[in-house]
Amino acid sequence: MTLLLEDRVALVTGGASGIGRAAALAFAREGARVVASDVDEAGVKETASAAPDAIAAFAADTSDEEQVRALVAFALDRHGQLDVAFNNAGVMGPAGALHQLDLDSWRRCLDVNLTGVFLCMKHELPIMQRQGRGSIINTSSGAGVIGAPGLSAYCASKHGILGITKTAALENARTGVRINAICPGSTDTPMLRGAMATGPEVEKLILSSQPGGRLGTPEEIAETAVWLASDRASFVSGASIAVDGAAVAR
Ligand SMILES: NC(=O)c1ccc[n+]([C@@H]2O[C@H](COP(=O)([O-])OP(=O)(O)OC[C@H]3O[C@@H](n4cnc5c(N)ncnc54)[C@H](O)[C@@H]3O)[C@@H](O)[C@H]2O)c1
């Protein structure tokens, strides 16, 4: 049986935890050589240790252009190509009504979630354009499609990701590079568990707003990333795909 990502090189940010960790492992299972990156160096090394022949770890903060440049150069030096990039690193950002947020925490959230994705795409695209082949997948959110009371910085960053995903997809429609976004719903990861731990009312709200009565798993999001990364999705570009058990369908 042919593996979906045989002979492909894939970069994953946010690879230490949750969705990024599951995606690094899923890409490796499908035959890709993977560079997993995270600002959490110990965590991303632990991810790589789960499939040491396939996954290499590289510590980088995606909000810092020099670190992103070094990350992409590491992947290219190590493997000579870059076919797939899952730009997934993100933070929840400050919680509270918009008029109560302080500027520094707003900026930090936008720096990581939106500027980080911009910087990754900026340095990944020229390589993929030269190859005439590539698939970029950005992690947005249900909060990229609908409002998220109490999370306006996060919501703005995730809406912004859809804007740059669509724009880059159009700019690259004739280059062989496809660019898409995944909008996960509430997914059982340390980020979501952290949010639910802030109070029983938050946990209740999250659990009660799942149409199917359950959270998603990181592996369910990773499966969509695998498909988007593969040639099976050869005519899919500029799309934002909800993987959320119908949460934003209502
Ligand atoms: N879990 C959910 O319910 C959910 C829903 C929608 C979207 N998302 C998005 O999915 C993505 C992954 O989230 P997750 O739930 O797996 O969370 P997570 O906290 O388990 O994993 C996020 C990872 O990103 C890393 N990271 C944070 N800032 C970074 C930076 N500046 N540079 C590099 N790495 C950094 C963290 O160290 C962490 O390992 C995020 O973009 C998040 O916004 C999550």
Q: What is the pLDDT of residues 151-163, one digit of tens each?
A: 999 999 999 999 9
Whether residue 117 contacts residue 164, with contact meaning beta carbons closer than 8 Å, is answered with yes
DSSP state of 92: -
Q: What residue ranges line ligand 1, CB within 6 angstroms? A: 13-14, 16-20, 38-40, 43, 61-63, 88-91, 112, 116, 139, 141, 184, 186-187, 189-192
Instruction: Give the whole-angstrom CA distance, residue 106 versus residue 154.
Output: 8
- The architecture in CATH of the region 9-187+221-243 reads 3-Layer(aba) Sandwich (3.40)
CA dihedral 225, 107, 96, 220 (to 10 degrees): 10
Q: Could you tell me the distance, in angstroms and rounded to a whole number, from the CA of residue 2 to the centre of ligand 1?
A: 31
Q: What is the pLDDT of residues 9-41, one digit of tens each?
A: 999 999 999 999 999 999 999 999 999 999 999
Residue 10 has which token pair?
């894939």
Return the pLDDT at 1. Answer: 78
Answer yes or no: pTM beyond 0.95. Answer: yes
Q: Could you tell me the distance, in angstroms and rounded to a whole number, from the CA of residue 154 to the centre of ligand 1?
A: 11
The number of the ligand 1 atom at minimal distance from the alpha carbon of 112 is 31
